[in-house]
Amino acid sequence: MKSIYILLCLLALPFLGMGQFTIRGEVVDPSHKPLEFANALLYAADTSTFLQGAVVDAHGQFTLTAMDAGNYLLEISMLGFAPVHRPIRIQDAPVDLGTIQLLSDEALLETVTVIAKKPLFERQADRTVVNIREALTASGGTALEMLEKSPGMLVDRVGNNLSLMGKSIVVAVNGKRVRLEDDALLQYLASISNENIERIELIDNPPASFDAQGAGGVINIILRENEEEGTNGNLSLFAGYGERPKFGGNFNIYFRRGRWNLYADLSSTNDWTQQDYSLQKHLFDEGQAIYTDQYGDRPAYIANHSARIGADLSISRRIRFSTYATLSKRIWAMDALATTQYEQPVAGATEEFLASNESNQTEHYMTSNNLSIQLSETQHLSFDYDYLNYKIENPTSYVLDRLGPVGDTVELGRFSSGK
């Protein structure tokens, strides 16, 4: 019984001690009026990694959440104003930054020609638009990672749940709803590379065209398309190193001539992550005090590979046919070791090791076909045929060993699960 209890403690450790710290502030213009629609972006101070963003509301207020104590960098920006960068140090309490004033960018106003760049988060009447194509911070990431950093979005990877402003949502790609179970839907979003996305629309008041009955919002992912005649393409590569390396790339090719538009793209990301934890506890088991010192090493490998091919045909001015197929695969694999050192009055000092091997692989194949007929300026007829096939494999195994006071090692049990 004691070993099972220790095992459960070890399995729960990665989810313990995770704190959240709120960062609040108010943004005003030179006349001290609320600067609605300004962007508030939070970065890690040491790596400049983009962590989360918010859009300033009508009262000039914004709220961000930091997952851990530490050093951060806040950027407040809006077109026509000089951006403000402010370092933030979080210790053990929420942070209230008070009032932050943006000043007019005189250099920008005095120039004859102005080249406008879209903000990362753009608030419109019924939606918030995430302009991924404009964001250098999105390189190498996925749609799911970008949603985690977007205002109003809550991504619960443990519970396989997505919500917008606290409401349930549906997901659409290029305006067409993706019908997947919650766990498969998150895996699908994690397989879409940011390099293939033009923008993401977070719609909190969805129109009827999205078939979102019963849902409070829609996430509409708009994939990149080619508007130029002829053949063109691009290749992008990236590499980085934090505690462990990451690299990947994306290749697109397009052909447009007359009524035809053909396209294909390939993308791949490979990321080696590292998670360490430690915890000291004082437990009581059957009346005996147990002093524990627990620590673990959880290195993981995450890969996303996807391919897409499609065609659009303008049959006439009012009739259009489009078809595309996508294939994606996501791999998450981890070999972890958790160590527990505990001391009891009778048994003395002992040490237990929990070795775990877990793999989560998801494959999606989807094809979508659409025939669109514009009957009039206000009437539209559409025929759709979609096919989806997905497979999830999640084998997991645990081995629990104990090292006694005299150095003898005993295997306490093996546990495995899978789906």
Q: Do 331 and 363 touch, CB atoms closer than 8 A?
A: no
Residue 254: domain span? 227-419
- Tell me: do 92 and 147 sit in the same domain: no
Instruction: Give percent of the chain above pLDDT 70.
Output: 87
- Tell me: do 412 and 314 sit in the same domain: yes
Say how far apart CA 238 and CA 200 lie, in whole Å.
Answer: 22
* Residue, of 166 and 115, whose pLDDT is higher: 166
**Own/partner pairs for 345-351, CB < 8 Å, 24+ apart?**
345/288, 345/289, 346/288, 347/405, 348/405, 349/405, 350/402, 350/403, 350/404, 350/405, 351/402, 351/403
Determine the average pLDDT of the residues in 65-79.
90
| pTM for the model | 0.69
18 pLDDT exceeds 70?
Answer: no
* Within-domain flag for 408: yes
Q: Of all residues in the chain, what percent are helix, strand and coil, respectively (each to 5)?
A: 10, 60, 30
- Tell me: do 267 and 403 sit in the same domain: yes
What local confidence, expressed as pLDDT, does residue 404 receive? Answer: 65
* Within-domain flag for 406: yes
- Tell me: do 237 and 149 sit in the same domain: no
Closest of 390, 412, 224, 399 to residue 310, by C-alpha? 224
347 pLDDT exceeds 70?
Answer: no
* Within-domain flag for 6: no
- Tell me: do 390 and 257 sit in the same domain: yes
**Average model confidence (pLDDT) for the chain?**
83
**pLDDT tens-place string over residues 178-233:** 877 777 788 888 888 888 888 999 998 887 777 767 677 899 999 887 777 889 88
Domain count, the chain: 3
**pLDDT tens-place string over residues 280-308:** 877 676 667 777 788 888 899 999 899 99
Say how far apart CA 254 and CA 229 lie, in whole Å.
Answer: 9
**pLDDT tens-place string over residues 398-410:** 888 887 666 677 7
What local confidence, expressed as pLDDT, does residue 17 receive? Answer: 45
What local confidence, expressed as pLDDT, does residue 402 receive? Answer: 81
419 pLDDT exceeds 90?
Answer: no
Confidence label for 80 from pLDDT (cuts 50, 70 and 90): confident
Determine the average pLDDT of the residues in 335-348.
78
Say how far apart CA 192 and CA 171 lie, in whole Å.
Answer: 13
Amino acid at 63: T
Say how far apart CA 322 and CA 309 lie, in whole Å.
Answer: 11
269 pLDDT exceeds 60?
Answer: yes
Residue 39: strand pairing partners: 55, 77
What would the two tokens of residue 412 be?
């306490």
Say how far apart CA 80 and CA 111 lie, in whole Å.
Answer: 12
Confidence label for 142 from pLDDT (cuts 50, 70 and 90): confident
What local confidence, expressed as pLDDT, does residue 16 receive? Answer: 45
Determine the average pLDDT of the residues in 255-278.
89
Residue 148: strand pairing partners: none
Q: Do 140 and 231 touch, CB atoms closer than 8 A?
A: no
Ramachandran class of 38: left when φ > 0, alpha when ψ lies in -120 to 50, beta otherwise:
beta
Query: Worst-scoring range by mean pLDDT, 66-70, 110-114, 147-151, 241-245?
Result: 110-114
Say how far apart CA 172 and CA 204 lie, in whole Å.
Answer: 13
Say how far apart CA 149 and CA 170 lie, in whole Å.
Answer: 18
Residue 381: strand pairing partners: 373
The CA-based angle 194-197-203, given to 5 degrees, is 110
- Tell me: do 205 and 311 sit in the same domain: no
Query: Worst-scoring range by mean pLDDT, 109-123, 332-346, 373-387?
Result: 109-123
